Amino acid sequence: MAEFTMELNDEQKEVRDWLHGFAADVIRPAAAEWDEREETPWPVIQEAAKVGIYSLDFYAQQYFDPTGLGIPTAMEELFWGDAGIALSIVGTGLAAVGVLANGTEEQIGTWVPQMYGDANDVKLAAFCSSEPDAGSDVASMRTRAVYDEAKDEWVINGTKTWATNGGIANVHVVVAVVDPDLGSKGHASFIVPPNTPGLSQGQKFKKHGIRASHTAEVVLDNVRVPGSCLLGGKEKLDERLARARERAKAGGGERVKNAAMATFEASRPAVGAMAVGTARAAYEVALDYAMTREQFGRPIIDNQGVAFQLAEMRTQIDAARLLVWRASWMAINGKPFTAAEGSMSKLFASETAKKVTAQAIQILGGNGYTREYPVERMHRDSAIYTIFEGTSEIQRLVIARTLSGMPIR
């Protein structure tokens, strides 16, 4: 087990600096254009694939970093560049995490490479969990998967929403109900291979922020997938469902995690790192502006009202990063989140990003409210962190339940 450290090693610093250079030279110059276009920034993704950032090898290298700091460092630098474009680059990762967290070795080896493709033929993947009537309330999920034993196939019907890369992805990972009597414990995840009949894109959403990232509904109409596409395999699913039924009869017992929740728990610190990157970017713009903008014959940072805001912004950013790093280190080293440390990191970092970007606009004044300066876009982008992969309210609920052991509602 790697010791927890707040100092990156030389190799991690090299990767961080390399990513920072890509964010500064490739992502930032394109950010305003793709935000306005509200389209997937294919040229930037292809450039990321060409240099090795958008690739299975790079993602796996960061994911399995024994210190746990590979993913959060990468996310912070890319999202420092621009949240919308960065999410287009890393959005496939959530589906990959779903397979890595729940799939067999054979499934991981078969499907994760197909999610990325290569520099000459870039592929995308989408993780599909939320539904029109089941976002935070995962127990209300209606998408059903029914096993056709005669053909060893699963038949999936339903509609998913808020899916990053939904409908345009080559590989979709879909969470569906297999036993409605068990609530959220009766869910399972499935791979939907490329060009599977019955899967189509529904509504594409026009969003407040992260506009360069494609978000859409995914419609599943009698989608048939082979039995081998059930993540973890049917034997493991049957065992898990049997345990859940026994505990339900006994009136409770040990909590059984479903595949979607395992994916979200693994990715929450990474979302916190995204928020840290956006917050840091806005803070740096505000600091530079305050140092150079003069009013009444002196830089505005010479006023306590501005200087103290910047001091608070930097303090919150550093605190958020430390929470993210702690949760990331715990996750990679198998330390249980006994105080919901993963949710803590996402909650604090997400709220910090919203607050810091708003403060940056205030420091820039009228200029901050225009699209001539990037803090306006950063503020719009930051709103998503308190919503996706578990709202701030859900994070507080998870933390409170973990700390108290009570079924708080």
Active-site position among 131, 217, 341, 389: 389
Render 75-118 in DSSP notation, one character per residue: HHHHHHH-HHHHHHHHTHHHHHHHHHHH--HHHHHHHHHHHHEE
User: Quick check: 259 pLDDT over 70?
Assistant: no
User: Is it true that domain 125-250 has CATH number 1.25.40.10?
Assistant: no
Stretch among 33-47, 188-202, 237-251 having the lowest mean pLDDT: 237-251
- Identify the band that residue 266 occupies on the pLDDT scale cut at 50, 70 and 90: low
- Percent with pLDDT over 70 in the chain: 96
Mean predicted confidence (pLDDT) in 166-182: 97
392-405 per-position pLDDT tens digit: 999 999 999 999 99
- Looking at domain 259-404, its CATH superfamily turns out to be Butyryl-CoA Dehydrogenase, subunit A, domain 3 (1.20.140.10)
Render 360-400 in DSSP notation, one character per residue: HHHHHGGGGGSTTSTHHHHHHHHGGGGTTTS-HHHHHHHHH
For the chain, what are the domain ranges? 10-121, 125-250, 259-404
- Percent with pLDDT over 90 in the chain: 87
318-364 per-position pLDDT tens digit: 999 999 999 999 999 999 999 999 999 999 999 999 999 999 999 99
- Identify the band that residue 254 occupies on the pLDDT scale cut at 50, 70 and 90: very low
87-139 per-position pLDDT tens digit: 999 999 999 989 988 999 999 999 999 999 999 999 999 999 999 988 777 77
- Identify the band that residue 248 occupies on the pLDDT scale cut at 50, 70 and 90: confident
**The listed CATH number (1.10.540.10, 1.10.150.20, 3.40.50.2300, 3.20.20.30) that belongs to domain 10-121:** 1.10.540.10
359-396 in b/e form (b: 16+ CB < 10 A) is: bbbebbeeebeeeebbbbbbbbbbbbbbebbbbbebbe
- Identify the band that residue 267 occupies on the pLDDT scale cut at 50, 70 and 90: confident
51-70 per-position pLDDT tens digit: 999 999 999 899 889 999 99
User: Quick check: 22 pLDDT over 60?
Assistant: yes
| 11 catalytic per annotation | no
Angle in degrees, CA 23, 26, 28, rounded to 5? 65
User: Quick check: 150 pLDDT over 60?
Assistant: yes
- Identify the band that residue 262 occupies on the pLDDT scale cut at 50, 70 and 90: low
